[in-house]
Each structure stands twice: as C-alpha cells, then as structure tokens.
C-alpha cells in the first residue's frame, strides 16, 4: 500500500468536534513522497470540500475537518500512487427538547389514544433515570441508547399490568411463567455505554 493511514480510518464524533486525519505516502519505489495528497471530504448532504493538507515531514501529511453537521462524513486521500479512505460519524448534541418524549414513544409503540399518557410520562422519567444510573449518557444521545430507552418504557408499561411479573398459565400453556428481570435486547443496546463497576 502506498498511502498508509496513521489515524483511525473510522471514528465517532460529536457535531462541532474536529476530525483529525493523517497518512504516510510513499511512491512506487517506496520513497516518501514530497507531493501532498488531495483530500476530498464528502459531507452528509452529498456536498464536498477539500481541506488544506499540511506536511509534518516528507511523506507524512495531515488535515483536520470540523464536523459542523450530523451524519456520515467520508474522506478520500488521493495521490498518484493510490488512495486511502476515512470515515467519521458525527452525532448531534441533544438538548432536553431533543430527548425522547411522549409523542416519540407513542409513535414507537404504535399508540394513538391518550388513556395512558400520564403513565408514559412517569415511565419516561423513571426509565431515563435508570438508564443514566447504569450508562454513560453522552451529550450526543446516540440512537442505540434512544432505542433502549423506548424499549425500557414499553417494558415498564407492560409490567404495570403484571405487578408480580408473572404470566398465569392455563390448561394449554401449563404452569405460571416468571418474566426475566432483565431484557437482553436492552442490555445489548446499552452494552457499549455501560459504566464499569469497580470493586
């Protein structure tokens, strides 16, 4: 390979953060190239930009891009000797107004009536607190945590109808079933964000 990435080729950032990229370029003879690559960054809306490239030394080049919008950014480092590809995903900072609310949950759950609105509000507050207690919740609230919170609330509301968390059996289904205390799908979605317990 004639263009070797020296920073991660795939990163996750928050909107407003700076995306750092660097690479080492050699020619076909394996000699460090004195010709800087042309870097083309494609923004989430499909437009492109060409940031300035600086040389720390012959063959070693770097550039930075401020991720001003949310979504997937890609960068192509083109040289006469080959190319390198980088990508960055930028999540937006989520204010209180952008956090999951009753309307979003009702859309998620397919609910249209208003009979349980108060319960939904209480469940959202309590389950968001429960999530914060076990997860590192960044300023850029990611989609996996959002999905996990929706599932937490749905489970909360379902269990309110089963205060003992027991499904009663009958002549066909057999004995009573005790529901598991933890939802494996919630744990899977929250796994990358779980706080490490010490001791």
Residue 103 falls inside a structural domain: yes
Per-residue pLDDT 10s for the chain (199 aa) are: 589 999 999 999 999 999 999 999 999 888 999 999 999 999 999 999 999 999 999 999 999 999 999 999 999 999 998 999 999 999 999 999 999 999 999 999 999 999 999 999 999 999 999 999 999 999 999 999 999 999 999 999 988 877 655 555 554 555 555 555 678 999 999 999 999 876 5
Same domain assignment for residues 80 and 104:
no
pLDDT at 197: 74
Residue 178 falls inside a structural domain: yes
91, 119, 151: which is the final residue of a domain? 91
Same domain assignment for residues 182 and 100:
yes
Number of residues assigned to the chain: 199
Q: Are 140 and 69 in contact (CB under 8 A)?
A: no
Give me 145's structure tokens. 């945590």
pLDDT at 64: 98
45, 62, 91: which is the final residue of a domain? 91
For the chain, the domain total comes to 2
Same domain assignment for residues 119 and 74:
no
- Non-local CB neighbours of 111 within 8 Å, separated by 6+ positions: 105
Q: Are 52 and 7 in contact (CB under 8 A)?
A: no
Same domain assignment for residues 81 and 12:
yes
Q: What domain range includes position 75?
A: 3-91
Half-sphere exposure of 29 (CA within 13 A, CB side): 3
Maximum Cα interatomic distance, the chain, rounded to a whole number of Å = 81
């Amino acid at each position: 390979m004639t263009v070797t990435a020296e920073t991660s080729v795939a990163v996750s950032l928050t909107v407003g953060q700076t995306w750092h990229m660097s690479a080492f370029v050699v020619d076909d003879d394996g000699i460090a190239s004195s010709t800087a690559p042309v870097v083309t960054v494609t923004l989430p809306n499909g437009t492109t930009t060409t940031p300035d490239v600086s040389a720390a030394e012959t063959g070693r080049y770097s550039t930075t891009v401020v991720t001003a919008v949310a979504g997937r950014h890609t960068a192509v480092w083109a040289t006469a000797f080959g190319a390198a590809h980088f990508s960055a995903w930028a999540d937006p900072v989520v204010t209180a107004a952008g956090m999951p609310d009753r309307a979003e949950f009702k859309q998620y759950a397919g609910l249209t009536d208003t009979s349980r609105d108060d319960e939904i509000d209480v469940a959202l507050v309590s389950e968001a607190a429960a999530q914060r207690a076990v997860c590192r919740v960044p300023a850029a609230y990611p989609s996996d945590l959002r999905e996990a919170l929706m599932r937490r609330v749905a489970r909360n509301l379902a269990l309110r109808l089963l205060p003992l968390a027991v499904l009663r059996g009958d002549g066909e289904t057999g004995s009573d079933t005790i529901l598991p205390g933890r939802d494996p799908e919630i744990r899977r979605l929250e796994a990358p964000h779980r706080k490490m317990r010490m001791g």
